Structure 1
Amino acid sequence: MKMIRENDLDIIYKAGTSDKAIIVLHGYGASCNDLAPIGQMMDQSGHFHWYFLDAPLSVDIGYGMEGRAWFPIDMMGLQQALMKGSFRSFFADKIPDGFIEASEKVEALLKSLKEKHSSLILGGFSQGSMISSEVAFKNPGLVDKLFILSGTFVSESHWRDLLSHSTSLPIFQSHGSVDPVLPVSEARRLKEFLEENDQNHEYHEFHGGHEIPMPVIQSLSAFLVRA
């Protein structure tokens, strides 16, 4: 693995033996290092080219430490919404500030990578999966597969409009049944939404929180190599 910079994004890059690439976006407050070990576990033969992207924004994650983010999140507001049972309106009713700008950065990178690779698989964890979904839904034909790990709706009406112009896309979605950050109820709604919009979708719900457990890693590995 090595660190590279493309399209104004810092990236951990691991070369593969095929002409297929997997692009991975981390969650809020993490970094490009966060999911790289999972990539190693899922592709021990080194078949795919891997790109682990570092989000463009720096955010305070407490105790004098900083992480990266794709767009700002009012974490106090999120906690209040969870406690009041009003989470549905937090993301699903609007496009967050900075969301489109971040997705356009990733979109530009993917268009550049498409010149090097025959197939692009895009996905991420939590906030990274929200950006990944936006890019995939907006650009039919650019992304060949999408994986959504512990993600949620972002502006349901906006995504509904994007998918009305899209083709069927193989999608892998996973979510913990007791996720304290992004409620499973919204993941289930997203599942139904994708199925209603004729997406080639598989859903994996596990007993756990905001995480990527081994059974999900194993199922995702099978999804990545499936024709």
Structure 2
Amino acid sequence: MSLHPRHVRTKLGELDCHVVDALPEGAKPELVVVLSHGYGASGTDLMGLAPELWAAAPRLAEGVRFVFTQAPLTLAHLGMPQAHAWFLLPDSVLAGEQRDWDQFARDVPPGMPAARRALMSTVAALQHPYGRIVLGGFSQGAMLSTDVALRLEEAPAGLCLLSGTLIAVEEWKTKARARSSLPVFMGHGRDDTMLPFHGAERLRDVLTGAGLPVELLPFDGGHAIVTEEIERMAAFLEKRLDER
């Protein structure tokens, strides 16, 4: 199949976004996949996933539009003018101190409510049925996507969490009970030193405990996205296409 990808940079709701698809001219997407980058990256960081997902599952090119969001906070004050964040990290973490992961799982990060509102505004601006939108992202973007997926008025079509982790555990436990039909794909490196693997296991357990169907792919590696993860994510998205 000959692909003719299009890339448009635009503002959707409060966020700058990169919109990528290979749909036939004038065709509407069957599924919109909204992916949010991690701390210190930018809106283009995950764009390379689109062609890799098309290659893994060619049907995605015929029915999926990707929206790559850019976080609103700049890290210019840290000497990284091109870097962005959904919420800022504590000075202790920036200094390399080890987190208290139990406390981290309980806390709602300062800045999360504003980030949540921004991503929700982008989802609303798509003017697409919630049941035909998949949310997801990497690291901090995965945390935000989980939070939003559990709070939308209706459940999205799916949730793809690449190197995410558990936060806001009491809020998420409560809200997940109303999302028991929401399918979730998770991928996480066993050797991740940024967000340790046990955080992904705890998140899976919270979601499955609320009745959500969760597929967790552990892989040998760190805080990264690997080929097997992309292939499994492509299969997950193809299933969402079939659920019309």
- TM-score > 0.5 by shorter chain: yes
Could you tell me which of 155, 177, 202 is aligned with 1:189? 202
**Residues 112/142 of structure 1: CA separation in 2 closer, same or farther (3 Å cut):** farther
C-alpha distance 115-63 of structure 1, shift in aligned 2 (>3 A)? closer
Cα shift readout 1:113-150 (whole Å, capped 9, x = no counterpart): 14378610110000000010001011253411001110
Task: Tell me the CA shift for residue 8 of structure 1.
Answer: 2.2
SS in structure 2 at match of 1:224 = helix
**Residue of structure 2 equivalent to 1:106:** 119
The 1:97–1:220 alpha-carbon spacing in structure 2 relative to 1, beyond 3 Å, is same
Question: How far did 1:64 drift?
Answer: 5.0
Q: What is the percentage of aligned positions where both structures have the same residue?
A: 29
Give the residue type in structure 1 aligned to 2:48: P
- Which residue of 1 is the match for residue 4 of structure 2? none
Q: 2:126 & 2:16 partners in 1: Cα distance?
A: 14
How far did residue 49 of structure 1 move?
0.7
Q: Does 1:200 align with 2:217?
A: no
**Letter matched to residue 101 of structure 2:** F
Aligned equivalent of 2:97? 80
Aligned to 1:50: 66
The letter of the residue matching 1:151 is G
Change (3 A) 1:58 1:196: same
Match of 1:122 in 2: 135
Q: Does the Cα contact within 8 Å between 1:129 and 1:149 map onto a contact in 2? A: yes
State the AA in 2 paired with 1:88: D
**1:139 to 2:149 alignment:** no
Task: State the TM-score, normalizing by the size of structure 1.
Answer: 0.91
Structure 1 residues 21 and 194: CA distance shift in structure 2, 3 A: same
Q: Once the two structures are superposed, what CA deviation does each residue of 1:7-35 show, in whole Å capped at 9, x if it has no partner?
A: 12111111353331110100000011111
1:64–1:110: structure 2 CA closer, same or farther, 3 Å change rule? closer
Note if contact 2:70-2:84 (Cα within 8 Å) is conserved in structure 1: yes
Aligned counterparts of 1:140 and 1:153: Cα–Cα separation in 2 = 22
* Count of paired positions: 223
What is residue 30 of structure 1 aligned with on the other side?
Answer: 41
Moved more, 7-16 or 107-116: 107-116
Distance 2:210 2:130 in 1: 28
Distance 1:63 1:94, change over 3 A: closer
- Partner of residue 94 from structure 1, selected from 86, 107, 116: 107
**Aligned partner of residue 138 in structure 1, secondary structure:** coil
Alignment RMSD: 2.0
Q: Is the 8 A contact 1:27 1:126 kept in 2?
A: yes
Q: Quote how far apart the aligned CAs of 1:75 are.
A: 5.4
Q: 1:143 to 1:118 in 2, by over 3 A?
A: closer
SS in 2 for 1:36: coil
Q: What TM-score do the two structures reach when normalised by structure 2?
A: 0.85
> For 1:139 and 1:75, how far apart are their aligned partners in 2?
32
Amino acid in the other structure paired with 1:29 = G
Mapped partners of 2:97, 2:120: distance in 1: 32
Change (3 A) 1:223 1:81: same
1:220 aligns with 2:233: yes
| Structure 1: gaps of 5 or more residues | none
Q: What SS class does the counterpart of residue 80 from structure 1 fall into?
A: coil
Contact 2:186/2:215 (8 A) holds in 1:
yes
**CA distance in 2: counterparts of 1:65 and 1:112, whole angstroms:** 27
| CA 117–137 in structure 1, closer or farther in 2 if over 3 Å, else same | closer
Given that 2:191 and 2:221 are in contact with CA atoms closer than 8 Å, whether structure 1 keeps it comes out as yes
- Aligned pair in 2 of structure 1 residues 64, 156: CA closer, same or farther (>3 Å)? closer
Residue 199 of structure 2 aligns to a residue whose secondary structure is helix
**1:156 Cα shift?**
0.4
Deviation at 1:2, TM superposition (A): 1.7
Q: Give distance in 2, aligned partners of 1:65 and 1:110.
A: 26
